[in-house]
Structure 1
Amino acid sequence: MTGTPLIINALGQLDNPNAPRSMRAAAELNATSEQFTVDARTLAEARASGLTAVTITLGYVMGELPPYEHTVHEIDVWDGIVDRHPDALLKVTTAADIRTAARDGRVGVVYGFQNAVAVGDDVSRVAEFAERGVRVVQLTYNQANHLGGGSAAPAGTGLTAFGREVVDALNDHHVMVDLSHSGERTCLDAAAHSRVPVSVNHTGCRALTDLPRNKTDDELRLVASRGGFVGIYFMPFLNPTGHARAADVVEHLAHAVDVCGEDHVGIGTDGPVTAIDDLDAYRERLAEHVARRRAAGVSAAGERADTYPFVVDLRGVDQFRELIRLLERRGWSATRIEKIMGRNFLDYAERVWTA
């Protein structure tokens, strides 16, 4: 295709995983934002990849840190990161900010949660987080919480009464309700309850790979039918062997388009642009990390010590261009590819973030 489309990663990372601090953080069960390395290489490669905007994860996800206090602190940390790099980064609070980032050659940073535990039992905190610039809130991580069931929770665990209150508050304050990691019942409940379109910012299709972290066609169809968005990740859950390849990403994108329509699908890689340089050394650390997650009860079915948490042939600074080439080879039109790579997320943001 001619020209560079908007590239919006619905869930990713800004980090140099090769920096010593980030390598140490990778061994932790719950790395904090202060442990990520947003250095010159991170910024240069993000921009060189063509990335327009990315939703990053901040705040409490799991572990022993106090959820609310830790989350407020992490918002401060990311405000500091963005403020220190005004020529490279732009905090995104509106869809217009994404267009500004594209115009200026900066990377838009969307603040997102991967667990809503930080709300505690005080739904008014949703307003506080929205005021601080949080624009995406995932209701659960893999385990259940007081809002609903995660993908590792018992089947049939639905959205709770308090979960419905939180969804209402997120709607009121123009924050995306993200149902990634949720169990099927909670996803269906939340998508049906929400007055505003919802999203699944990083997932795969269970019809192709039957793992709980992937979404059923019923979930995908309901999210799309109500005006929502589905992002396909670059994760091992795309292949039953756990060794996902770029071709698997294409197949899951194609299935999602078949189910949802081409106006509701995009990408949410769940990884950084900067690639790990020494895969052999990384593989030695991976087994320990997977074991810790399993012992803590926060791992997802399909996580194994012999599988990378990324697609090995779709990483690094050329990952988006390579995906575009593969989609072109499949015969997809330039218009469809532009939608998948970013325009659909931008249109969805317009539907949710507009006051």
Structure 2
Amino acid sequence: MTAAPDTPLIVNALGELHNPNAALDAASRLQQAGDELVVDARALDEARASGLTAVTITLGYVMGDQPPFRHTLDEISVWNGILHDHADRLLHVRTAADIHRARREGRIGVIYGFQNAVAVGEDLSRVRTFAELGVRVVQLTYNQANHIGDGSMAPGNRGLTPFGRQLVEELNDQRLMVDLSHSGERTCLEAAALSRQPVSINHTGCRALADLPRNKTDEELRLVASRGGFVGIYFMPFLTTDGHPTADDVVDHLVHAVNVCGEDHVGIGTDGPVTAIDDLDAYRAAIDEQVAERRRAGVGAAGERPGVVPFVVDLRGVDQFRRVITLLAARGWSSTRIAKIMGGNFLSYAARVWPTGSAPG
């Protein structure tokens, strides 16, 4: 099944491609690489039904006690197996052309991305290794500081380390996206100024609308866009200071980002799945426990607290992208601008950064 010709190409710059309900249902739980990850028929059917063309998934080390490099290689292997098992429905995206191919063939493009570059360690040659394995997005930091730079919750806001500057240069050499989501303000500004290739903030909000550290200032947004980069707006609780945003808040952040960056540099990076949570009460209890664990580990973000779920409640399920499109049209946006926001801008940005060619399978 290929996409309808009038459906805009939809690329989620950071999302999830699994069934989150399986982790709440012990009877259907699958264990892969020690983690709960269920890419089942429901997840794939609903991703397709949503109109999704491609999505950047998070794999590899983000936080915790696992050895970062080994854990990351293991998760790449897991996803390679998932793509092999569902080759008729999924396509590993290595180039911008592969996103077009996924749409043409009615498959979902899967982009391998990191949300923490700690797995590089002190060995820059690992960047080439990850590139050869098909990783295409490398986020420099998570919320905390690492040996590359300060994250959004690091109190010092110290920017890039000397090694971090070397890493940005190596990511440029390997034609990988430098993703500045979760970064501290100085880390973001310094990396965007240093990078020879355009950089991205694949999932964020606008701090001018909600003054929280996970959101980006107009200065950061403007600099990234001015150098040919990309900014993805998430469907996350950080869009409002009370932690309970609605779909209209998502649109407000998209409107503000376009006003700051221009309509050619903004898109979506939901930071969530297409498949909706079936039992919200059970999920809220699980999330409250996770929030407490993240706080104890020192990796939580301001705005995470009990009772706050990591998505926009009225933007769940297979209609989330269509609802955003409808709301943007109601704001007077043209179909051309909407198509850019929903996927065209990420595709253009990928073409500016990634190597050319096509995936073999």
On whether the aligned pair clears a TM of 0.5, the verdict is: yes
Helix, strand or coil: the match of 1:142?
Answer: coil
Superimposed CA distance per residue, residues 90-143 of structure 1 (whole angstroms, 9 cap, x where no aligned partner): 000000000000001100000000000000000110000000000000000000
2:62 is the counterpart of 1:61: yes
Q: Map residues 170-189 of structure 1 onto 2, 5 A cutoff.
A: 170-189=171-190
Instruction: Quote the residue 1:215 is aligned against.
Output: 216
Residue 34 of structure 1, CA deviation = 4.5
Residue 284 of structure 1, CA deviation = 1.9
Aligned partners of 1:285 and 1:83: how far apart in 2?
Answer: 31
Residue 20 of structure 1, CA deviation = 3.8
Helix, strand or coil: the match of 2:20?
Answer: coil
Instruction: Quote the residue 1:305 is aligned against.
Output: 306
Identify if the C-alpha distance between structure 1 residues 22 and 343 changes in structure 2 by more than 3 Å, giving closer, same or farther. Answer: farther
AA in 2 matched with 1:91: H
2:246 is the counterpart of 1:245: yes
Instruction: Quote the residue 1:16 is aligned against.
Output: 19
AA in 2 matched with 1:132: L
Identify if the C-alpha distance between structure 1 residues 33 and 94 changes in structure 2 by more than 3 Å, giving closer, same or farther. Answer: farther
Residue 307 of structure 1, CA deviation = 0.8
Helix, strand or coil: the match of 2:104?
Answer: helix
Give ranges in structure 2 of 5+ residues lacking alignment: 357-361
Contact map agreement 2:16 2:272 (CA 8 A) in 1: yes
Residue 2 of structure 1, CA deviation = 8.3
Residue 155 of structure 1, CA deviation = 3.9
Q: 1:3 aligns with which of 6, 9, 18?
A: 6
Contact map agreement 1:110 1:135 (CA 8 A) in 2: yes
Instruction: Quote the residue 1:335 is aligned against.
Output: 336
Helix, strand or coil: the match of 2:113?
Answer: strand
2:62 is the counterpart of 1:81: no
AA in 2 matched with 1:121: E
Residue 32 of structure 1, CA deviation = 6.2
- Relative to structure 2, which stretch is displaced further, 152-161 or 334-343? 152-161
Contact map agreement 1:200 1:231 (CA 8 A) in 2: yes
Aligned partners of 1:295 and 1:123: how far apart in 2?
Answer: 31
Contact map agreement 2:33 2:78 (CA 8 A) in 1: no
Helix, strand or coil: the match of 1:170?
Answer: helix
Helix, strand or coil: the match of 1:68?
Answer: helix
Residue 282 of structure 1, CA deviation = 1.2
2:204 is the counterpart of 1:203: yes
Residue 296 of structure 1, CA deviation = 0.4
Contact map agreement 1:93 1:110 (CA 8 A) in 2: yes
AA in 2 matched with 1:41: R
Contact map agreement 2:150 2:158 (CA 8 A) in 1: yes
Contact map agreement 1:22 1:36 (CA 8 A) in 2: no
Aligned partners of 2:112 and 2:194: how far apart in 1?
Answer: 24
Aligned-pair Cα RMSD in Å = 1.8
Helix, strand or coil: the match of 1:347?
Answer: helix
Aligned partners of 1:142 and 1:347: how far apart in 2?
Answer: 28
Q: Map residues 128-147 of structure 1 onto 2, 5 A cutoff.
A: 128-147=129-148
| Structure 1 residue runs of 4 or more that deviate by more than 3 Å after TM superposition | 20-24, 31-34
AA in 2 matched with 1:89: L
Instruction: Quote the residue 1:50 is aligned against.
Output: 51
Aligned partners of 2:187 and 2:266: how far apart in 1?
Answer: 21
Helix, strand or coil: the match of 1:292?
Answer: helix
Residue 287 of structure 1, CA deviation = 1.5
Residue 157 of structure 1, CA deviation = 1.4
Contact map agreement 1:149 1:186 (CA 8 A) in 2: yes
Residue 354 of structure 1, CA deviation = 3.0
Superimposed CA distance per residue, residues 1-27 of structure 1 (whole angstroms, 9 cap, x where no aligned partner): 981000000000011011147879x9x
Contact map agreement 2:23 2:36 (CA 8 A) in 1: no
Superimposed CA distance per residue, residues 41-63 of structure 1 (whole angstroms, 9 cap, x where no aligned partner): 00000001000000000000000
Residue 280 of structure 1, CA deviation = 1.3
Residue 162 of structure 1, CA deviation = 0.4
Superimposed CA distance per residue, residues 206-255 of structure 1 (whole angstroms, 9 cap, x where no aligned partner): 00000000000000000000000000000000011100110100000000
Q: How many residues align?
A: 351
Aligned partners of 1:115 and 1:131: how far apart in 2?
Answer: 18
Q: Map residues 110-149 of structure 1 onto 2, 5 A cutoff.
A: 110-149=111-150
2:194 is the counterpart of 1:193: yes
Instruction: Quote the residue 2:236 is aligned against.
Output: 235
Identify if the C-alpha distance between structure 1 residues 33 and 237 changes in structure 2 by more than 3 Å, giving closer, same or farther. Answer: farther
AA in 2 matched with 1:294: R
